[in-house]
A and B are shown apart, each in its own frame.
Chain A
Amino acid sequence: MNGPHDLGGQHGLGAIAPERDEPYFHADWEKRALGITLSCGAFGAWTIDESRHARESLPPATYLAASYYEIWTRALETLLTRHGFVTQTELDAGHMLEKGREAKRVLMADMVAGVLAKGGPCDRPVQTPPRFVVGETVRTKNFNPETHTRLPRYARAKLGVVEAVQGGFVFPDDNAHGKGENPQWVYTVVFDGREIWGEGADPSLTVSIDAWESYLEHV
């Protein structure tokens, strides 16, 4: 979707403002937000792709004004209500009012180390051979789906060169919407800065994305 999250190349968003000796958390609620988000992810009721889509579906004004832990928290409320674990009325009340759906897995303290160390690999075998080869010039597709995609706007309908075939991975555009993992080959595609930004582009710049096979066309 052409949402507020697709930020590459936008102007006017201000200074980077790196903070010296930045702490990991700026408030206690951020710690809880991190832990709650990861704990709820462990239910296995939704995928990381659905989470990302819930975050980018926040109203643009909310998204752009929010800290990242706020984005996570708001999206988590959406996911929990969508999947029947809690109701909005309960969130407003701050207490359980009805039983709701049970989780297949609840992350207990003694499971944390193992779960974090394992992570969630999303590489998958792909049955077909890669359609593109290293060194090949390709064009990225021009599309504007209202649904989830990982092809940023700035890199659509651009000529780039395949630099690496990175393996088969779960296809987020489908997986975010419960349509299955449908793995595809992922390629690192590198673009000349001038191809993307045109006039006035930094001549020393190249930018790469990691693109699923269906994002690419032969030239």
Chain B
Amino acid sequence: MSDHHHGHGDDHGHHHYDNHFTDMEARVKALEMVLTEKGLIDPAAIDAIVETYETKVGPRNGARVVAKAWSDAEFADWLRRDATAAIASLGFTGRQGEHMRAVFNTPDTHNLIVCTLCSCYPWAVLGLPPVWYKAPPYRSRAVIDPRGVLAEFGLELPVEKKIRVWDSTAELRYLVVPERPEGTEGFTEQGLADLVSRDSMIGTGLALSPEAVR
């Protein structure tokens, strides 16, 4: 929609995957009315679901996982071997996080997560996916032109850096552990978590430098 501010100004070939307000409003209203009258849904349950993903389950969960992995070598090792259990130990479990894998960026390799076939995303640690993650441009291009995709996020990687794209075609859900930024020695886990953006855990960004958040 024109009232949204996108990070990039190029509107050529730009599709609006978040519109159709009025048509869909009516359609969803009808659906909710019919189901409620039949006693098949509880409108208060819908409120509770929305509240969960607006206030409880979001990328701050993932940031805590990453910060702990940066600060605690034993936890990082656990996360590498059994991400589902390591993440559950911090209290993050459940829907679209049942089978987790953590993939670690290294000086040699940058990891990028996509779901070309639908919208698979690690809800338990990142919450609901952003619109672009579920939309055709990202899903089509991430596997064939990841450098072009990253450039649109303002991320230019050195040519010698290898790029590994993980297409989430099964029920495994991936969390990227970005590299720990320089100049963060002695940071608390909370201080480190503040440097971990959602995009850095998808692979469309890097962790922020301490200067960037100051």
Q: For chain A, what secondary structure do more than half of its interface residues adopt (helix, strand, loop), or is it mixed?
A: mixed
Partner of A117, one of B94, B134, B159, B204: B94
User: Which of these binds chain A: B10-18, B64-72, B184-192?
Assistant: B10-18
Closest to A167 in B: B99
Q: Chain B's nearest CB lies how many Å from the CB of A2?
A: 12
Give the shortest distance, in Å, between A28 (CB) and chain B (any CB): 8
B33 close to A8 (CB less than 8 A)? no
Q: Closest B residue to A22 by CB, please name it.
A: B130
B194 at the interface (CB under 8 A from A): no
Given A34-B50, A85-B40, A91-B34, 8 further pairs, Cβ under 8 A? A8-B116, A15-B12, A15-B13, A15-B137, A35-B50, A117-B94, A206-B164, A210-B170
Cβ of A5: which chain B residues have Cβ within 8 Å of it?
117-118
Taken together as a complex, chains A and B put the C-alpha atoms of A14 and B132 apart, in Å, by 11
Indicate if A142 sits at the interface (CB-CB under 8 A): no
Q: How far is the CB of A86 from chain B (nearest CB, A)?
A: 5
> Is A218's beta carbon under 8 Å from chain B?
no
Q: CB < 8 Å: which of A17, A103, A170, A188 contacts B40?
A: A103
B14 engages A17 (CB within 8 Å):
yes
Q: Report the tally of A-B residue pairs with Cβ distances under 8 A.
A: 312
Pairwise interchain contact A39-B41, C-beta atoms closer than 8 A: yes
Residue of B nearest to A109 (CB): B44
Are B49 and A35 within 8 A (Cβ)?
yes
B15-49 interface code vs A (CB 8 A; 1 in, 0 out): 10111110011011111111101111110111111
Most buried by B among A106, A108, A116: A116
Q: Complex Cα distance A99/B34, Å?
A: 11
Verify B169–A24 contact, CB threshold 8 A: no
CA distance A6 to B97 in the complex (A): 23
From B19, which residue of chain A is reached at the shortest CB distance? A67
Question: A152 CA to B74 CA in the complex, in Å?
Answer: 37
- 7 A–B contacts, CB within 8 A, in A order: A18-B7, A34-B49, A67-B131, A112-B52, A119-B94, A155-B167, A186-B170
**A9, B46: Cβ atoms closer than 8 Å:** no
- CB pair B35–A15 under 8 Å, yes or no, is no
Residue of A nearest to B152 (CB): A16
Q: Does A11 contact B (CB under 8 A)?
A: yes
Chain B contacts of A166 at CB under 8 A?
99, 101, 170, 172
From B18, B21, B40, B119, give the contact of A43 (CB < 8 A): B40
Known A-B contacts A10-B140, A150-B117; the reply to A29 vs B169 at CB < 8 A is no
Q: What residue in chain A is nearest B119 (Cβ atoms)?
A: A68
In the complex, whether B171 has a CB less than 8 A from a CB of chain A is: yes
Docked-complex contact A19 and B118, CB < 8 angstroms: no
Given contacts A8-B144, A39-B42, A212-B170, are A122 and B24 in contact (CB under 8 A)? no
Residues of B within 8 A of A26 (CB): 1, 4, 18, 131
Are A85 and B95 closer than 8 Å at their CB atoms? Answer: no
In the complex the two chains form, what is the Cα distance from A143 to B136 in whole Å? 23
Q: Is A133 an interface residue (CB 8 A)?
A: no
Give every chain A residue within 8 A of B77 (Cβ-Cβ). Answer: none
Known: A13-B136, A26-B131. A150 touches B7 (CB 8 A): no
The docked-state distance in angstroms from the alpha carbon of A60 to that of B93 is 35
For A39, the closest partner residue in chain B by CB is: B41
Contact partner of A9 (CB less than 8 A), chosen from B29, B134, B143, is B143
| B214 at interface by CB-CB < 8 Å | no
Q: How far is the CB of B146 from chain A (nearest CB, A)?
A: 6
- Identify the closest chain B residue to A98 (Cβ): B38
